[in-house]
A and B are shown apart, each in its own frame.
Chain A
Amino acid sequence: MNTATDAPVLSVTGLKTWFHTRDGIAKSVDGVDLEVQPGKVLGVVGESGCGKSVTALSIMRLIPPPGRIENGQVLFKGEDLLSLSPTEMAKLRGEHISMIFQDPGSSLNPVVTAGNQIAEMYEIHRQTAARANQDKAIEMLEKVGIPDPGQRASAYPHELSGGMAQRVMIAMALACEPQLLIADEPTTALDVTIQSQILELIRELQEQTRTAVILITHDLGVVAQMADRIAVMYAGEVVEESDVTNLFDEPRHPYTRQLLKSIPVLGANQDDLAVIPGRVPSLVDLPGGCRFAARCEARTEVGLAACTESRPPLEAVGTGHKARCWMYLDNPP
C-alpha cells in the first residue's frame, strides 16, 4: 500500500450535518471521518438513513434546509470546502469534484440533448468554443462506450435506456477530469447485466485518470468488487473502516458481522439467514451509548456497562483497521 506516499485528495474530519425538523434535531451525520487517496476507491456502505448520502451531499455542499453542516472540516487538496463562498464552491463542482446519482432519468435535463449536456460542462468550466465543445462531448460519449456517439449526442434523455443514461451521467461527471468522483448508488436502478457494465466502466476510467472515487452503496457485493477501502456507516457514524479484504475476512464491528451474515450469498446454500433484531434508532432521539447496543449480539455475551452509557470512539483495532466498539478497547469507562 502506498498510502503513505499519497496525500489524500479528500479528508473529512468530525463532519456533523443535522436536520432541524419539527420533531427535533435529526443527527443524520454525526462526527464522520473519511479519507480517500488519488486513484483509490473508498466504498461507503450502510442501510437507508445511515447518513451515507448526506455525507456525500455535505462534501458537495448541497445540503437543503432544514439541514445544516454544524461542524467539521472537509479538506479537498488541503483547502477547507466548508469555508468557501458559494461561487467558489460552484466553480469547484463539476470541474474538480463531480457526483453521479442513483437515478439517471431524473438527474439529466429532459429538454437538453445528451451531447449538449456534456458540452455545457466545457462551456461553463473551460470557456472553449461551442464547436470544440461539441466535438469533445462526442469524444466523451465514445469513451463511456455509447455506440454511434455522433448520432446519440443529439438524443434526448427519454430516448436513452437506463444504462445509456447512466453512461451519459458518467460522461458529464468525468468531462473535466475531476480529481474526485462521488458516486451515490450509481447502479442501484439498473439491471445486473447493465450494472456490471457500468461498474466496469467506472473502474476503467478511474484507473486511467487516477480519479479518487467515493462509492456509496447499500450493496455489500458491489463494494467487495470495487472498493480499495471501505467505511461502514450506522446511524450517522462510521462504525468500521478498513481495507476491503480485511473487512470481509475479519469484520470487527458487531454490526458489520451481523450485516454480512444477514445477506443471501449466491452459491452459499444458507439455511435461515441471520436477522438483526430490532431497528435502527431514531435520528432525533439517539441513545446515549453505542448506537448499535440495543441490537448487538456481542454485547449480550460480553456485557459491558459502557455500551449503553457512553459513545465509543473509532479506534484502531489492527493495521489500517478501525472500529467503533468498546469490546476492543483496553479500558472502557
Chain B
Amino acid sequence: MTALIQVDRLSKHFPVHVGLLRREAGAVQAVSNISLDIHRGETLGLVGESGCGKSTLGRLVIRLLEPTSGTVRFNGDDLTHASREQLRKLRRRMQIIFQDPYSSLDPRSPVGNSIAEGLRVHGIINQSEQHEKVGQILDRVGLQSAHAQRFPHEFSGGQRQRIGIARALVLQPDFVVCDEPVSALDVSVQAQVLNLLRQLQRELELTLLFISHNLAVVEHLSDRVAVMYLGEIVEITDRDTLYREAQHPYTKALLSAVPVPNPHLRGEKIILQGDVPSPLNPPPGCKFHPRCPIAMDACRTTAPTPIQMRRPVEHLVACHAAG
C-alpha cells in the first residue's frame, strides 16, 4: 500500500501568554514529534483522551493549523511549504467533518447553500451544475435533493451530521479527517452515521483519519489504530493486533476502562491513578510514567523511542518495557 499522507516529525506548540504585556510564559506542546503514514484507501483511527492533541494533529494534517516544525506530505506533495495557490488546489482533495453538527452549519443559510460553498470556492459557479452536485451528494448520504432548500434547524442531529458529511464529500476528496463525528449523537443515531461512513469509505475508496475518544467506535471503523497520550503516539498497529495484543500500558488501561455492555464481564479493571498531566508542563522521561503501573527508573529520565514489536505486521510501541 502506498502512503497518501506522510507525516514527518510534526510538532505544534501553542505559546501561552500571561499578564498585561502578554509575556510568553511557556508553550502547550499539543503535538510533539509525530511521524506516521496514512495509506491510500484505509481508515486510520486516532484515539486518546481530551487534551491529548488528537484534534490538533487532525487539523495539522490538512494544514488548518501551521505546524511549529515537521512536514506533511499529501500524495508526495509537500503541504507544509505549499504556496497559497498550491494549497488551494490541494485543499479540494482533503476535507474535514466536525463533531458538532449544530455549530458547524450556518443557521441562516439553506443547507444546500452551505454544501455548495465548497463548489463555489473551487470554481464551480454554474448554478445548475451546483444544483445537480448538491442533489447527488444529498442522495448519497441518505437525504433527498429537496432537503437542500431547508434550514439547519429543520433537521435532527443525525440528519445534520449527514449534511456535514455531504458538505465534506461534495468536492470528491481523496482524504477526509473525521473529528469525533458521532460523539454528539444518540446511540441509535450513531449507528446510522457509522454505517454510512463505512459504506461511503468503501464505495468512494476514501482515505479517512477517524478521530475519537470512543475505543469501540474506532475499532468498528478502522483498519489501523494509533493511540495518543500527551501529544505523542504511544502505540500504532493494525486494528486486530491493537485490540487483542496491546503492548503499551496506557493502551491496556484505556481498553480495560471502557465499560462493556455485558454484566458478566465486570472483572478487575486497570484503574489509572491521577489525572492526565498538563501539556504545558509535561513530566520528564516517558510522559506516561507518573500514572504507569509498571514504571521503572529509566522511564522517569529517558523518553522511550517507538520500537517495532517482533511480529510480521507493523506494531510500534513507545515503551521501555515493550519488546
Interface residues of A (CB under 8 A from B): 47-48, 147, 161, 163-164, 191-197, 199-200, 218-222, 224-226, 244-245, 248, 258-260, 262-267, 270, 272-276, 279
Contact = CB atoms under 8 A, between A and B. Distances in A.
B186 to A, nearest CB: 4
A193 B253 contact: yes
A263 B254 contact: no
Question: What 6 pairs between A and B have smallest CB-CB spacing?
Answer: A221-B259, A191-B49, A264-B220, A273-B191, A262-B191, A47-B186
Nearest to B218: A264
Contacts of B263: 224-225, 244-245, 248
A264 B259 contact: no
Nearest to B220: A264
Nearest to A295: B188
Contacts of B254: 192-193
A272 to B, nearest CB: 5
Given A194-B275, A266-B243, A220 B219 contact: no
**Contact-size category for B:** 35 or more
B220 A273 contact: yes
B59 to A, nearest CB: 20
A109 B255 CA distance: 34
Contact of B260 (A221, A245, A259): A221
A297 B19 CA distance: 62
Among B191, B194, B195, B271, chain A packs the most CB atoms within 10 A around the CB of B191
Contacts of B272: 193, 196-197
Contacts of B276: 191, 193
B194 A266 contact: no
A40 B188 CA distance: 28
Contacts of A275: 188, 191-192, 195
B50 interface: yes
Contacts, number: 116
Given A191-B49, A191-B213, A267 B243 contact: yes
Contacts of A244: 263
B255 A266 contact: yes
A264 B217 contact: yes
A197 B271 contact: yes
A36 B6 CA distance: 56
Contact of B271 (A196, A219, A220, A273): A196
Interface string B139-162: 000000000000000001000000
A201 to B, nearest CB: 10
A1 B27 CA distance: 56
B257 A195 contact: yes
Contacts of A263: 187, 190-191, 216, 261
Nearest to A260: B261
B281 interface: no
A147 B276 CA distance: 14
Contacts of A258: 188
B188 A47 contact: yes
Given A196-B259, A248-B261, A274-B191, 8 more contacts: A47-B186, A191-B276, A193-B271, A194-B275, A197-B271, A218-B186, A224-B263, A262-B188
B252 to A, nearest CB: 11
Interface string B262-295: 1110100101101110000000000000000000
Contacts of B220: 264, 270, 273
